[in-house]
Amino acid sequence: MNKPPQPISLHGGHSGLYCCHARDLLEDIIQRYIKLGFTKVGITEHVPPVNDKFLYPDEKKLNLTALDLDKRFEEYFYEIFALKKKYASKIKIFAGMETETCTGFTDHIKNLVLKFQPDYIVGSVHHINDICFDYSKKEYDRVCSILGSYELMYEKYFDLQYEMIQSLKPFVVGHFDLIRIYDKNFKKRLLLPKIKQRIMRNLALVKSLNLILDFNLRPLAKGEKEPYVTGFILKSAKEMGIRVVPGDDSHGVKEAGCHVDKAIKILKDLGFDTKWPDPVLIT
């Protein structure tokens, strides 16, 4: 008989000491994964900003500087590598990091990779024109008004994503269609020719570099129907032979492992390979 697929998440495990918008201790999150029967998990803390200009509002409120966050990130790697050893007999932890794509970040991230030697990286786009569009609907609409329309905003997002994938070659491409986050009409919008063409172009790049897509479960945690990516992108990935792996994008103990069972069922039903690859650093 075939073994049932192992639960896994290759994007998440943000924790309270290292991320202002997360909660709980990293070790408690790891213990939660073990309790849930995970034998492998990827932890991917957000990278620190390249300078003070890119601090998030919650970080500014706490009077943190980019230098403080650099130090905090170093402590994160110190702890994740220690936990990796401590729990090695129970769970295989992959020590990762989640990228940004603002001005100056490509070199910054390459330096961080050299310095910390993570097991892999998750490549994400959260900024357009250096503004974080997923922080709130207000910021999302601010980007839209600067660019002129939601359509142009989507196009720009997928262009930035293409550049990021090309330059960083992240083993996991994070929440591929995050740009739909506050858009009620995203299903129609993603199919507009200029946008769909960019999606297919980016998928082809993902395939050619043998990267995987994050099947990101955060929307389900927020009560939405579909993970990132949406149905048609998921089906296209399947047709192109692109691997897809669940990511809970957890920011606390309660979210760790949430909805991973649902994700695995969706992937299995669509015929995806559920023998998950071990993430690696691609240089």
Residue 218 backbone phi and psi in degrees, to 5: -60, -40
38, 91 Cβ separation under 8 angstroms: yes
Interface segment toward Zn ion; rule CB under 5 A; list 9-17, 154-162, 218-226, 232-240: 9-17
255, 18 Cβ separation under 8 angstroms: no
Angstrom distance (rounded) from CA 203 to CA 168: 15
The three-state secondary structure class of 230 is coil
Q: Do strands 131-132 and 172-173 pair parallel, antiparallel, or not at all (unpaired)?
A: unpaired
Q: Is 250 in the site for Zn ion (CB under 5 A)?
A: no
**Given 124, 161, 202, 250, the residue binding Zn ion (CB under 5 A):** 124
Interface segment toward Zn ion; rule CB under 5 A; list 8-16, 51-59, 79-87, 111-119: 8-16
Interface segment toward Zn ion; rule CB under 5 A; list 78-86, 105-113, 124-132, 159-167: 124-132
Kindly determine how many residues on this chain lie close enough to bind Zn ion according to the rule CB under 5 A: 2
Closest distance of CB 196 from Zn ion, Å: 23
With 0-12 CB in 10 A as exposed, 13-18 as middle and 19+ as buried, what is 84?
middle
CA atoms within 13 A on the CB side of 263: 31
Residue 131 backbone phi and psi in degrees, to 5: -110, 135
Interface segment toward Zn ion; rule CB under 5 A; list 25-33, 56-64, 118-126, 261-269: 118-126
**Which residue in the block uniquely carries the two structure tokens 């390459």?**
110
29, 256 Cβ separation under 8 angstroms: yes
* Per-residue binding letters, 72-111, with Zn ion (x by CB under 5 A): ----------------------------------------
Closest distance of CB 75 from Zn ion, Å: 17
- Structure token digits, residue 204: 């082809």
Q: Of the two residues 98 and 119, which places its CB atom closer to Zn ion in the complex?
A: 98
Closest distance of CB 228 from Zn ion, Å: 9
Q: Of the two residues 25 and 192, which places its CB atom closer to Zn ion in the complex?
A: 25
Interface segment toward Zn ion; rule CB under 5 A; list 24-32, 80-88, 123-131, 273-281: 123-131
Q: Which residues are near Zn ion by CB under 5 A?
A: 14, 124
